[in-house]
Amino acid sequence: MAETKGVATRREFIKRAMATSLAAGSLSVLGAPAIGGEKRKFKVGLVGSGGRGTGALRDHLAAAEKLGVDIEVVGVADAFEDRTGGARGIGKIPPGRVFVGFDGYKKLLDTDIDIVLTAAPPNFRPVHLAAAIEAGKHVFMEKPVAVDPPGARKIMEAGEVAKKKGLCVVAGTQRRHQRNYRETARAVQEGAVGKIRGGSVYWCGGALWKRDRDASWSDAEYLVRNWVSFTEMSGDHIVEQHVHNLDIMNWYLGTHPIRALGFGMRARRKTGNQFDFHSVDFEFPEGVHIHSMCRQINGTDGGVYEHLVGEKDIAQNKKPSDPQVFPEGCPFDGNPYVQEHIDLLWGILKEDPINEAYNVATSTMTAIMGRIATYTGKRVEWKDLVEPGGAYYDLTLKPTALDFEKGEVVAPPDDVFPIPGRD
Ligand SMILES: NC(=O)c1ccc[n+]([C@@H]2O[C@H](COP(=O)([O-])OP(=O)(O)OC[C@H]3O[C@@H](n4cnc5c(N)ncnc54)[C@H](O)[C@@H]3O)[C@@H](O)[C@H]2O)c1
């Protein structure tokens, strides 16, 4: 297959993926974790003190305890004062270190924190990551990492800057920190199932939460408090939720899809503008097709799965020839939400940075490509999103993160949504 500009070949993709795992793997040559004597005390701050942000903070502290590292929680930034209680309850954050508003992250990054955990809604992530790297902080960032192609590319760029600065960037695609997924990925790379020739990945379940609009709320407040309903905030659930399965697809295939064709629609929801279901055929090089489906409709049958079929076997719960899939000496925790913070802190302690920006940005871009395919009904090419001049290269969902900072937010109307073939 001819190489297309802007498309990572399988070889390049594996090289980049290996660079991440080798960075971690090379720790083994350092021997057992002689953590004593190294810097063992870090200051951490949280951007986005909601359900996952506070969860990530707890997981971070659990990871630190496992590593024998001292963490001081010194600050929190959230759009709203009433959401900061979670972090304050966990961290005994001093007065004056609670930063409220859409530019609160800047004030937090101005402090002496070493590490920032970022878990605001996905549309803010590119700006928050770029600022954190600019400020020289190590980062844990929740998935997905963007809602549009420029956002996903900004994450890739920030990831490259992080590499130059020696900063760690870990993403909330926690399956990459889960033993059985790591073992299977390694076994697949070793040829245990042969080349992957097809399969399906899916996340089908019920609707998530929604918030009805309070008459006192501005457009900005409504969008943020009801963010899982609006594509401009979440990317739609193919991006927000299904990215986990698409990430496994890309990881195991060792590349990303080159085009997508799909369909989807709203059936039940009235709030926001997302679809209720998406069904996408992702085409990879060498004629490999993977079916992706995701649905959020109450009362329907569910399932969350990656079923990738190789020439010899199905890629599921395979054992690699070497069972050591975490860096030697690095503590293991059966909870991948904790393990991702162990891996972050380990990279910092060993001064051997882990950097997952490219992988999570690529999986987010894959999901965005799928969404564009279902919204438009058109066949969408990867190069349309990543090459200058491509049809969707400049597709920017508004309001942007900067619109929120400038106070220039107009909420899209509820229940007005794309009609494939027309929009
Ligand atoms: N890895 C996983 O399994 C997993 C699970 C759940 C959620 N998530 C991800 O975590 C992120 C957060 O989800 P959640 O469930 O915690 O949502 P949430 O609504 O509970 O929390 C989001 C928080 O961010 C705050 N916020 C909004 N805009 C902000 C801004 N510009 N600056 C600072 N704070 C801002 C909100 O006020 C809120 O407190 C999402 O990206 C979601 O996809 C990941």
- What is the per-residue pLDDT across 150-175, written as a single tens digit (0 to 9) for each? 999 999 999 999 999 999 999 999 99
Q: Is 280's C-beta closer than 6 angstroms to any atom of ligand 1? A: no
What's the rounded Cα separation, in Å, for the pair 324 and 322? 5
Q: Which helix (H) or strand (E) holds 368?
A: helix 357-376
What's the 54 CA to ligand 1 centre distance in angstroms? 9
Q: What local confidence, expressed as pLDDT, does residue 15 receive? A: 44
What's the 50 CA to ligand 1 centre distance in angstroms? 5
Atom nearest to 174 CA in ligand 1 = 1
What's the 235 CA to ligand 1 centre distance in angstroms? 13
Atom nearest to 224 CA in ligand 1 = 27
Residue 179 DSSP class: H
What's the 78 CA to ligand 1 centre distance in angstroms? 10
Q: Is 383's C-beta closer than 6 angstroms to any atom of ligand 1? A: no
Q: Which of 9-18, 34-43, 228-237, 295-304 has the lowest mean pLDDT?
A: 9-18
What is the gyration radius of the CA atoms in the chain, in angstroms? 21
Atom nearest to 227 CA in ligand 1 = 19
What's the 326 CA to ligand 1 centre distance in angstroms? 28
Residue 49 DSSP class: -
- What is the per-residue pLDDT across 81-120, written as a single tens digit (0 to 9) for each? 999 999 999 988 988 999 999 999 999 999 999 999 999 9
Atom nearest to 240 CA in ligand 1 = 43
Q: Is 399's C-beta closer than 6 angstroms to any atom of ligand 1? A: no
Angle at alpha carbon of residue 274, lines to 268 and 275, rounded to 5°:
55
What's the 332 CA to ligand 1 centre distance in angstroms? 26
The two tokens of residue 289 are 């097709």
- What is the per-residue pLDDT across 45-90, written as a single tens digit (0 to 9) for each? 999 999 999 999 999 999 999 999 999 999 999 999 999 999 999 9
- Cβ neighbours, 10 Å, residue 321: 8
Q: Is 83's C-beta closer than 6 angstroms to any atom of ligand 1? A: yes
Ligand 1 atom 4, closest CA: 52
Interval 234-249 mean pLDDT? 98
Contact 377, 260 (CB under 8 A): no
Three-class secondary structure of residue 29 per DSSP:
helix
What's the 53 CA to ligand 1 centre distance in angstroms? 6
Q: Is 80's C-beta closer than 6 angstroms to any atom of ligand 1? A: yes
The two tokens of residue 121 are 């809604």
- What is the per-residue pLDDT across 172-191, written as a single tens digit (0 to 9) for each? 999 999 999 999 999 999 99
Q: How confident is the model at residue 38 (pLDDT cuts 50, 70, 90)?
A: low
What's the rounded Cα separation, in Å, for the pair 369 and 406? 29
Atom nearest to 77 CA in ligand 1 = 33
Domains and CATH numbers, the chain: 10-177+331-361 (3.40.50.720), 194-317+367-406 (3.30.360.10)
* Closest of 295, 241, 243 to residue 267, by C-alpha: 295
Among 49, 59, 142, 178, the mutation site with the greatest number of ligand 1 atoms within 8 A of its Cβ is 142
Ligand 1 atom 17, closest CA: 50
Ligand 1 atom 25, closest CA: 48
For residue 290, which phi and psi values (nearest 5 degrees)?
Answer: -120, 130
Q: What local confidence, expressed as pLDDT, does residue 26 receive? A: 29
Interval 262-273 mean pLDDT? 95
What's the 122 CA to ligand 1 centre distance in angstroms? 7
Q: Is 45's C-beta closer than 6 angstroms to any atom of ligand 1? A: no
Share the mean pLDDT of the chain.
Answer: 91
What's the rounded Cα separation, in Å, for the pair 2 and 9? 9
Q: What is the DSSP string of 222-252?
A: HHHHTGGG-HHHH--HHHHTTHHHHHHHHHH
Q: Is 168's C-beta closer than 6 angstroms to any atom of ligand 1? A: no
Sign of the alpha-carbon torsion through 355, 361, 366, 367: positive
What's the 376 CA to ligand 1 centre distance in angstroms? 28
What's the 120 CA to ligand 1 centre distance in angstroms? 4
Residue 94 DSSP class: P
Q: Is 254's C-beta closer than 6 angstroms to any atom of ligand 1? A: no
Atom nearest to 124 CA in ligand 1 = 31
Report CA-CA distances (Å) from 311 to 49, 199, 396: 45, 11, 40
Q: What local confidence, expressed as pLDDT, does residue 92 receive? A: 86
